[in-house]
Amino acid sequence: AFSGSMVWELVNPVSLLHREILFGAGIGLVLVLAVFIYDLVIAQRGWCGHVCPMGAAYGLIGRASLLRVSAPARARCDDCMDCFAVCPEPQVIKPALKGDAQSSPVILNGDCTNCGRCIDVCAQDVFRFSHRFDKRSEES
């Protein structure tokens, strides 16, 4: 806050695009195009998932979050894979959903955004919101 603006805003693609539209095309447009091509060709959600400094900050904050998505009824999972299809970070689902009986049904990975898409899409009601210390598993 030394300059009155966040340092992140200098490289934020949304802010760059707005500045390019308002003040004319320049190097910022090239950077926005590079981010777009990176996401399109190299890695799906590559900017947000691997490069973005805000994503890293949110990941660190997310590790301490008390609200969590949990899979207490994971025995009811019919492997339809709908949850993996809608999740912006599908790698976080597998340990809670497909883990052994001793592993926690709570998604503890900081990359989980707690968006709840997996809860909405699951026809078997495997997922629900819980707290990070809830280790209960429903038997079905």
Question: At 89, which CATH number?
Answer: 3.30.70.20
End-to-end CA distance of the chain: 53
CA 46 and chain centroid, separation: 12
Any domain includes 43: yes
89 in the same domain as 41 = no
Q: Among the ranges 11-20, 92-101, 119-128, which has the highest mean pLDDT value?
A: 119-128
CB 119 within 8 A of CB 84: no
pTM here is 0.65
Any domain includes 18: yes
| Residue range(s) defining the domain that contains residue 43 | 7-51
Tell me the per-residue pLDDT of 27-74, one tens digit each, with 9 for 90 and over.
Answer: 777 888 888 888 888 887 777 777 777 777 777 777 888 888 988 888
Looking at the structure of the chain, the number of domains it has is 2
Any domain includes 56: no
Any domain includes 136: no
Q: Determine the average pLDDT of the residues in 66-87.
A: 90
DSSP 40: I
